[in-house]
Amino acid sequence: MVHQATYTGDRTVRVRRRAPVPPDAGQVRIDVAFTGICGTDLHILHGAMDARVRPPAVLGHEMSGRIAEVGAGVTGWQAGDPVTVMPTASCGGCPACEAGHPHLCHRLDFLGIDSAGALQNSWTVPAGLLVRLPDGLRLDHGALVEPTAVAVHDVRRSGLVAGERAVVVGAGPVGVLIALVARRLGAGVLLVEPDAHRRSVAGALGLDCVDPSVTDVVAEVASWTGGAGAAVAFEVSGAAAGMTTAVNCLRVHGRLVLVGIHPVPREVDLHRFFWRELTLLGARLYRREDFEEAVRLLAAGDVPADALVSRTEPLARADAAFAALDSGAGVMKVLVDCRSTEEAGTP
């Protein structure tokens, strides 16, 4: 039987057992190893996406595993291959897809939100969504490919180049990953984060991080840039104050990349956009090349996965994994070990 962690509504995650789904033509069945949970999963848990997610729903879209079974017509893959899944199934026929932007498909099926996700120990998906993992990459590290691909895409969207300076507002997992990708590119990076634990993780990775509750961030950025301001600001916090900080840090012709999901409309200083000829860039999801670059970064050790994973729980304790992330107390990335249904977790 397959064990699945399902969102059942009312802030509840329960594990249920179901028969495995054999792969149809063009599909593969994966033995899931690890699945990460993220802020979007918490939004679902809190009921904020009930108009889109219908309980009981299997969540999870950050994963790694090995192919267990290959359906008819699938070539280039075999049982035992280590993989991750790019969880964006596009229709191929809408205006966005026809314009070459399948990640912005008008009828996008996002696995783990619109259809069953990876918080189960057996997952059947279209073979076209597979991304190969190198044999030397640990599977728990492979579960960080998806959030790393988000960061790669965000930095690509920004147009950031070596020698430019960037401010990242919000030092959660995606914010830190953006900072790491930007630093590897050769840019100067400053993180802004009020949470002491997140600042300590960033600092341990050699990233400069300031506390906006005690530091005048705009003045700090002005001093850092000789009065010019940052070339790019990544708004990752999803908070009104974060948006204000990001806008006010930008230089003339600066670029603001909107990464965080803002649940309500925000006031934005459009006069500053006019006065400095700023550019606002949305950044949603990723392309296949972003996923493939994320695999390379993790395999090369440019993304220190162990430093970002704070806790791992077995699938039977998926509710504890959600509670740990929801508490925000001393955690960055939380993984669920889908190979294990034992009750004991690791701190």
Active-site positions read 40, 43
| Closest alpha carbon to 121 in 55, 30, 41, 19 | 30
Phi, psi angle pair for 226, to nearest 5°: 65, 30
Residue 27 CA to residue 231 CA, distance in Å, equals 44
User: Mind spelling out the 3-state secondary structure of 211-228?
Assistant: CCCCCCHHHHHHHHCCCC
Residue 305 CA to residue 303 CA, distance in Å, equals 6
Question: Cα–Cα–Cα angle for 241, 246, 250, nearest 5°?
Answer: 150
Residues 230/221, Cβ–Cβ less than 8 Å:
yes
Q: Which residue has the tokens 């039987």?
A: 1
Question: Cα–Cα–Cα angle for 133, 113, 153, nearest 5°?
Answer: 50
Strands 230-235 and 165-169: parallel
